[in-house]
Amino acid sequence: MADPLMLATWSFSARGCAKAWPGLAGGGSSLDAVCAAAREAEEDPTVDSVGFGGFPDANGAVSLDACVMLAPERCGAVCAVTRHLHVTDLARRVMEGTNYVMLAGEGADAFADRLGFGSSPLLSADAEAKWQQWRAGKIVPAPPARSSIGEVHVPHDTIGVLAIDCNGVMAGACSTSGLPYKMAGRVGDSPIPGHGLYVDPEVGGAVATGNGELIMGVSGSFLAVECMRRGSTPLEAVREVLQRIERRFHPAADQQIGVIALAKNGAWSSGALHAGFVVSVADGSGIRTVPCEPILHPSRETIL
Ligand code: GLY
């Protein structure tokens, strides 16, 4: 028997963790738990980076990406989905019901139709109003906002979830609407195994959130797991990913990256380029939100 644990990016994920936790604590699977947590964010119109309520692309159309993973040979993903909300569940059905890893665009939507997933509009009135303002040049693309717990929310805050169940099985999920006002057709790190999410049961798992182009440049979540495979602690693995991004990209103060690394024994760490990234945790001690460590640039804590 293992101690069940859930870790998820950003404070909004605490609501999904709270929903999924009773099932996980009661002996349910880690895959069910990560899908339940992601589903909650996808349905929440106040989360402007995932599912319904997510910001649209430059043309005003919302497109969603998601990925689930249990192992290198057990993963599924969808990207550029425009007619269906529950993209994490759809990614799971790609993993469980096809010989493929990823379906894109209309093919992914058609697969959802065939499975009987209901289609629904993805653009909320609030996101549409902000897009209209952006198009009129009245707001900057991604205005960040600081919350009372010190979280600095930037609107490309993918939900990434990792869980270990009572049987010691680890699963992960990622779901996002991508960068606000992105070029139509742009897909980021979140649906791609090894970039936004990676799980290898021999070692552990990792999720990354933030500016997808930077994460993809270093295969962020794969790199974290590979560091742990070679003996790094989760903290050292997170630091290596952040330092690699720093060396290659010299990110600006408004380019945030958050990483969570979870070893198969339950040890974990999380870090970010700048202050403001927090992790939602669910375990035997309850559900809470904790700040990350390390922070590569603590002095750049204000990106507002
Ligand atoms: N990390 C989400 C994206 O860049 O699309």
* Per-residue confidence (pLDDT) for residue 147, from 0 to 100: 65
The predicted model gives 261-283 an average pLDDT of 96
Q: Is 158 marked active-site?
A: yes
In this predicted structure, which of 28-32, 58-62, 138-142 has the lowest mean pLDDT?
A: 138-142
Q: Looking at the predicted structure, is the pLDDT value of residue 148 above 70?
A: no
Number of the ligand 1 atom closest to the C-alpha atom of 208: 1
Are 174 and 50 contacting, i.e. CB atoms less than 8 angstroms apart? no
CA distance 262 to 234: 6
Considering the candidates 9, 82, 88, 158, report the single residue annotated as catalytic.
Answer: 158
CB-based contacts of 91, cutoff 8 Å, min separation 6: 66, 67, 68, 76, 77, 78, 173, 191
C-alpha dihedral sign at 253, 191, 173, 60: positive
Instruction: Answer yes or no: is the C-beta of 158 below 6 A from any ligand 1 atom.
Output: yes
Give the C-alpha separation, 188 to 66, whole Å.
10
Find the range with the poorest average confidence among 39-48, 187-196, 251-260.
251-260
**CB of 212 shorter than 6 A to ligand 1:** yes
Between the CA of 111 and the centroid of ligand 1 the distance, in Å, is 23
Greatest Cα-to-Cα distance within the chain, rounded to the nearest angstrom: 57
Which DSSP symbol is given to 142? Answer: S
Confidence (pLDDT) at 140? 66
Q: Concatenate the DSSP letters of all residues of 26-67 into one string.
A: TT--HHHHHHHHHHHHHH-TT-TTSSTT----TTS---EEEE
Beta strand pairing call for 159-164 and 5-9: antiparallel
Q: What is the mean pLDDT of residues 213-240?
A: 97
The model's pLDDT over 6-27, given as tens digits with 9 standing for 90+, comes to 999 999 999 999 999 999 999 9
Q: How far is CA 24 from the centre of its chain?
A: 19
DSSP class of 179:
S
Give me the pLDDT at residue 299, please.
64
Distance CA 258, CA 270 (A): 7
Indicate if the pLDDT at residue 111 is higher than 70.
Answer: yes
* DSSP annotation string for 287-303: EEEEE-B-EEEGGG---
The vertex-15 CA angle with 13 and 16, nearest 5°, equals 65
pTM (2 decimals)?
0.94
Residues 6+ apart with CB under 8 A from 94: 76, 77, 78, 100, 101, 102, 103, 108, 111
Nearest residue (by CA) to ligand 1, atom 5, is: 178
Angstrom distance (rounded) from CA 298 to CA 193: 29
CA of 139 to the centre of ligand 1 (A): 20
pLDDT > 70 fraction of the chain, expressed in percent and rounded: 92
pLDDT at 304: 32
pLDDT for res 154: 63
Beta strands in the chain (DSSP E): 5-9, 64-71, 74-81, 102-104, 145-146, 152-153, 159-164, 170-176, 197-200, 204-210, 257-263, 268-274, 278-283, 286-291, 295-297
The Cα–Cα gap between 198 and 76 comes to: 11
CB 289 near ligand 1, within 6 Å: no
Cα–Cα nearest to 248, from 209, 213, 206:
213
Atom number, ligand 1, closest to the C-alpha of residue 177? 5
Phi, psi angles (nearest 5°) of residue 14: -60, -30
Instruction: Indicate if the pLDDT at residue 298 is higher than 90.
Output: no
The HSE-up count of residue 188 (CA atoms within 13 Å, CB side) is 32
Structure tokens given for 84: 């269906």
Q: With a 6 A CB cut-off, is 157 part of the ligand 1 pocket?
A: no
Look at ligand 1, atom 4, and give the residue with the nearest C-alpha. 212
Instruction: Tell me the C-alpha distance between 250 and 37, whole Å.
Output: 33
The confidence score (pLDDT) of residue 302 equals 40
Atom number in ligand 1 closest to CA 187: 5
pLDDT at 253: 82
CB of 124 within 6 A of ligand 1: the answer is no
* DSSP assignment of 244-258: HHHHHH---TT--EE
Q: Is the pLDDT of residue 252 over 60?
A: yes
Per-residue pLDDT, 171? 98
Class for the domain spanning 5-51+153-301: alpha beta
Q: What is the CA radius of gyration of the chain?
A: 17
